[in-house]
Protein backbone atom coordinates (compact mmCIF):
# COMPACT_ATOMS: atom_id res chain seq x y z
CA UNK A 1 0.00 0.00 0.00
CA UNK A 2 2.69 2.50 1.04
CA UNK A 3 6.23 2.04 -0.23
CA UNK A 4 9.45 4.04 -0.29
CA UNK A 5 12.85 3.31 -1.81
CA UNK A 6 15.90 5.54 -1.61
CA UNK A 7 13.77 8.30 -0.08
CA UNK A 8 15.32 11.63 0.84
CA UNK A 9 13.32 14.55 2.24
CA UNK A 10 14.52 18.11 2.64
CA UNK A 11 13.92 21.26 4.63
CA UNK A 12 15.72 23.84 2.53
CA UNK A 13 18.84 22.10 1.27
CA UNK A 14 19.24 19.90 4.35
CA UNK A 15 18.25 16.22 3.96
CA UNK A 16 16.41 15.18 7.13
CA UNK A 17 15.25 11.81 5.78
CA UNK A 18 18.14 10.00 4.10
CA UNK A 19 17.95 6.92 1.87
CA UNK A 20 14.91 5.51 3.68
CA UNK A 21 13.10 2.46 2.40
CA UNK A 22 10.05 0.61 3.70
CA UNK A 23 6.97 -1.30 2.55
CA UNK A 24 3.72 -1.19 4.51
CA UNK A 25 1.03 -3.60 3.39
CA UNK A 26 -2.70 -2.90 3.42
CA UNK A 27 -4.14 -3.49 6.90
CA UNK A 28 -0.77 -3.31 8.67
CA UNK A 29 -0.14 -1.53 11.96
CA UNK A 30 3.35 -0.03 11.71
CA UNK A 31 5.08 1.97 14.43
CA UNK A 32 7.87 4.45 13.70
CA UNK A 33 10.19 4.68 16.68
CA UNK A 34 13.33 6.54 17.64
CA UNK A 35 14.71 9.22 19.90
CA UNK A 36 13.73 12.87 19.54
CA UNK A 37 15.04 14.62 16.46
CA UNK A 38 15.76 11.54 14.32
CA UNK A 39 13.18 12.34 11.61
CA UNK A 40 10.00 10.55 12.69
CA UNK A 41 7.70 13.56 12.27
CA UNK A 42 9.50 14.54 9.07
CA UNK A 43 8.79 11.11 7.62
CA UNK A 44 5.03 11.56 8.16
CA UNK A 45 5.20 15.09 6.76
CA UNK A 46 7.07 13.72 3.76
CA UNK A 47 4.28 11.25 3.07
CA UNK A 48 1.81 14.14 3.21
CA UNK A 49 3.93 16.39 0.97
CA UNK A 50 4.67 18.93 3.68
CA UNK A 51 8.45 19.20 3.36
CA UNK A 52 10.37 21.38 0.94
CA UNK A 53 11.21 18.57 -1.46
CA UNK A 54 11.96 14.89 -1.86
CA UNK A 55 14.16 12.60 -3.91
CA UNK A 56 13.75 8.89 -4.46
CA UNK A 57 10.53 6.94 -4.80
CA UNK A 58 7.38 7.21 -2.68
CA UNK A 59 4.12 5.56 -3.73
CA UNK A 60 0.70 4.84 -2.29
CA UNK A 61 -1.69 2.30 -3.77
CA UNK A 62 0.40 2.25 -6.91
CA UNK A 63 0.26 6.05 -7.29
CA UNK A 64 3.58 7.90 -7.40
CA UNK A 65 3.26 10.61 -4.76
CA UNK A 66 6.31 12.49 -6.05
CA UNK A 67 5.37 16.17 -6.24
CA UNK A 68 1.64 15.49 -5.74
CA UNK A 69 0.10 18.27 -3.59
CA UNK A 70 -1.10 17.51 -0.09
CA UNK A 71 -4.81 17.83 -0.89
CA UNK A 72 -4.47 15.28 -3.69
CA UNK A 73 -2.77 12.84 -1.32
CA UNK A 74 -5.67 13.24 1.10
CA UNK A 75 -8.12 12.42 -1.67
CA UNK A 76 -6.22 9.18 -2.28
CA UNK A 77 -7.17 8.17 1.26
CA UNK A 78 -4.22 9.31 3.40
CA UNK A 79 -5.40 10.77 6.71
CA UNK A 80 -3.00 12.72 8.94
CA UNK A 81 -3.25 13.54 12.63
CA UNK A 82 -0.29 15.83 13.31
CA UNK A 83 1.59 16.34 16.52
CA UNK A 84 -0.20 19.11 18.39
CA UNK A 85 -3.53 18.13 16.80
CA UNK A 86 -4.01 21.41 14.87
CA UNK A 87 -7.76 21.60 15.23
CA UNK A 88 -9.33 25.00 14.51
CA UNK A 89 -10.11 26.39 17.98
CA UNK A 90 -12.82 28.86 16.88
CA UNK A 91 -14.71 26.21 14.92
CA UNK A 92 -17.22 24.01 16.71
CA UNK A 93 -16.65 20.32 17.14
CA UNK A 94 -19.15 19.71 14.33
CA UNK A 95 -17.40 22.15 11.99
CA UNK A 96 -13.99 20.65 12.70
CA UNK A 97 -15.21 17.15 11.89
CA UNK A 98 -17.07 18.23 8.75
CA UNK A 99 -13.81 19.77 7.51
CA UNK A 100 -12.48 16.25 7.15
CA UNK A 101 -15.28 15.30 4.77
CA UNK A 102 -13.97 17.70 2.12
CA UNK A 103 -11.24 15.18 1.31
CA UNK A 104 -13.91 12.63 0.36
CA UNK A 105 -14.38 11.81 -3.30
CA UNK A 106 -18.08 10.89 -2.97
CA UNK A 107 -19.22 14.38 -1.96
CA UNK A 108 -20.76 13.24 1.34
CA UNK A 109 -20.63 15.84 4.11
CA UNK A 110 -22.39 14.00 6.94
CA UNK A 111 -20.58 12.87 10.07
CA UNK A 112 -20.39 9.05 10.12
CA UNK A 113 -22.26 7.56 13.08
CA UNK A 114 -19.34 5.32 14.06
CA UNK A 115 -17.38 8.43 15.09
CA UNK A 116 -19.91 9.08 17.86
CA UNK A 117 -19.63 5.46 18.94
CA UNK A 118 -15.85 5.76 19.18
CA UNK A 119 -15.91 9.19 20.85
CA UNK A 120 -19.25 9.74 22.65
CA UNK A 121 -18.02 12.97 24.24
CA UNK A 122 -17.81 14.61 20.81
CA UNK A 123 -21.51 14.06 20.19
CA UNK A 124 -22.24 15.71 23.52
CA UNK A 125 -19.99 18.67 22.62
CA UNK A 126 -20.94 19.08 18.93
CA UNK A 127 -21.72 22.78 19.29
CA UNK A 128 -18.83 23.59 21.61
CA UNK A 129 -15.79 25.35 20.20
CA UNK A 130 -12.81 23.11 19.66
CA UNK A 131 -10.58 25.44 21.65
CA UNK A 132 -12.74 24.90 24.74
CA UNK A 133 -12.03 21.15 24.84
CA UNK A 134 -9.37 19.52 26.99
CA UNK A 135 -6.19 18.25 25.36
CA UNK A 136 -7.45 14.69 25.32
CA UNK A 137 -10.79 15.73 23.84
CA UNK A 138 -9.01 17.77 21.17
CA UNK A 139 -6.99 14.69 20.25
CA UNK A 140 -10.20 12.70 19.89
CA UNK A 141 -11.53 15.51 17.69
CA UNK A 142 -8.41 15.45 15.51
CA UNK A 143 -8.78 11.70 14.99
CA UNK A 144 -12.50 12.11 14.27
CA UNK A 145 -11.76 14.78 11.67
CA UNK A 146 -9.36 12.43 9.88
CA UNK A 147 -11.84 9.55 10.06
CA UNK A 148 -14.57 11.69 8.49
CA UNK A 149 -12.67 11.56 5.19
CA UNK A 150 -12.95 7.76 5.04
CA UNK A 151 -9.19 7.10 5.04
CA UNK A 152 -7.40 3.99 3.84
CA UNK A 153 -4.39 4.78 6.02
CA UNK A 154 -3.96 6.97 9.08
CA UNK A 155 -0.70 8.71 9.94
CA UNK A 156 -0.65 9.52 13.66
CA UNK A 157 2.13 11.58 15.24
CA UNK A 158 2.41 10.79 18.96
CA UNK A 159 -1.36 10.86 19.55
CA UNK A 160 -1.10 10.37 23.33
CA UNK A 161 1.62 12.98 23.99
CA UNK A 162 0.54 15.39 26.71
CA UNK A 163 -2.82 13.66 27.17
CA UNK A 164 -4.33 13.09 30.61
CA UNK A 165 -3.77 9.47 31.70
CA UNK A 166 -7.45 8.57 31.90
CA UNK A 167 -7.85 9.26 28.15
CA UNK A 168 -4.57 7.74 26.94
CA UNK A 169 -5.83 4.14 27.19
CA UNK A 170 -9.09 5.08 25.45
CA UNK A 171 -7.23 6.63 22.51
CA UNK A 172 -4.87 3.66 22.27
CA UNK A 173 -7.81 1.24 22.23
CA UNK A 174 -9.57 3.25 19.51
CA UNK A 175 -6.46 3.21 17.31
CA UNK A 176 -6.24 -0.57 17.67
CA UNK A 177 -9.94 -0.94 16.84
CA UNK A 178 -9.57 1.18 13.72
CA UNK A 179 -6.93 -1.25 12.53
CA UNK A 180 -8.31 -4.58 13.73
CA UNK A 181 -12.04 -4.02 13.20
CA UNK A 182 -12.21 -1.42 10.41
CA UNK A 183 -9.14 -2.52 8.45
CA UNK A 184 -7.54 0.93 8.37
CA UNK A 185 -3.79 0.80 7.87
CA UNK A 186 -1.99 2.58 10.70
CA UNK A 187 1.37 4.35 10.59
CA UNK A 188 2.09 5.54 14.12
CA UNK A 189 4.92 7.68 15.45
CA UNK A 190 5.21 6.70 19.08
CA UNK A 191 7.55 6.98 22.08
CA UNK A 192 5.60 4.41 24.10
CA UNK A 193 7.36 1.15 23.31
CA UNK A 194 4.87 -0.78 25.43
CA UNK A 195 2.00 0.30 23.21
CA UNK A 196 4.02 -0.22 20.03
CA UNK A 197 4.74 -3.80 21.06
CA UNK A 198 1.11 -4.46 21.95
CA UNK A 199 -0.40 -2.99 18.81
CA UNK A 200 2.12 -3.25 15.97
CA UNK A 201 2.78 -6.03 13.53
CA UNK A 202 5.61 -4.00 11.99
CA UNK A 203 8.12 -1.43 13.26
CA UNK A 204 10.69 0.96 11.84
CA UNK A 205 13.39 2.52 14.03
CA UNK A 206 14.92 5.73 12.71
CA UNK A 207 18.32 7.06 13.72
CA UNK A 208 19.77 10.27 12.27
CA UNK A 209 17.23 10.23 9.46
CA UNK A 210 17.95 6.67 8.37
CA UNK A 211 16.33 3.30 9.03
CA UNK A 212 18.46 1.74 11.76
CA UNK A 213 16.42 -1.44 12.12
CA UNK A 214 12.98 -2.72 11.13
CA UNK A 215 10.99 -5.89 11.53
CA UNK A 216 7.82 -7.48 12.84
CA UNK A 217 6.28 -6.54 16.15
CA UNK A 218 7.70 -9.64 17.81
CA UNK A 219 11.21 -8.59 16.77
CA UNK A 220 11.08 -5.32 18.74
CA UNK A 221 13.44 -6.57 21.45
CA UNK A 222 14.77 -5.07 24.66
CA UNK A 223 18.18 -4.85 22.97
CA UNK A 224 16.77 -2.64 20.21
CA UNK A 225 15.02 -0.51 22.80
CA UNK A 226 18.23 -0.09 24.81
CA UNK A 227 20.33 0.81 21.75
CA UNK A 228 17.98 3.15 19.87
CA UNK A 229 15.10 4.20 22.09
CA UNK A 230 16.45 4.76 25.60
CA UNK A 231 17.16 8.38 26.45
Domain edges within the chain: 2-229
* Rounded Cα gap, residues 67 and 65, in angstroms: 6
Fold (CATH) for 2-229: Rossmann fold (3.40.50)
Residue 191 to residue 185: CA distance in whole angstroms = 19
- For the whole model, what pTM was predicted? 0.93
pLDDT digits (tens, 9 = 90+) for 108-157: 899 999 999 999 999 999 999 999 999 999 999 999 999 999 999 999 99
pLDDT in tens, 167-211: 899 999 999 999 999 999 999 998 889 899 999 999 999 999 999
Closest CA to 79 of 55, 63, 99: 99
Amino acid sequence: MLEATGLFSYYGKSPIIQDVGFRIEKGAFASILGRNGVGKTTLLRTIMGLTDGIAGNLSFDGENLGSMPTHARSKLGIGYIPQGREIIPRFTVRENIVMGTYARTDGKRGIPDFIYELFPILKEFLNRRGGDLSGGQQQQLAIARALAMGPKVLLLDEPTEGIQPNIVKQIEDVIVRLNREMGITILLVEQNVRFARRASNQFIVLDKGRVAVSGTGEELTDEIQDEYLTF
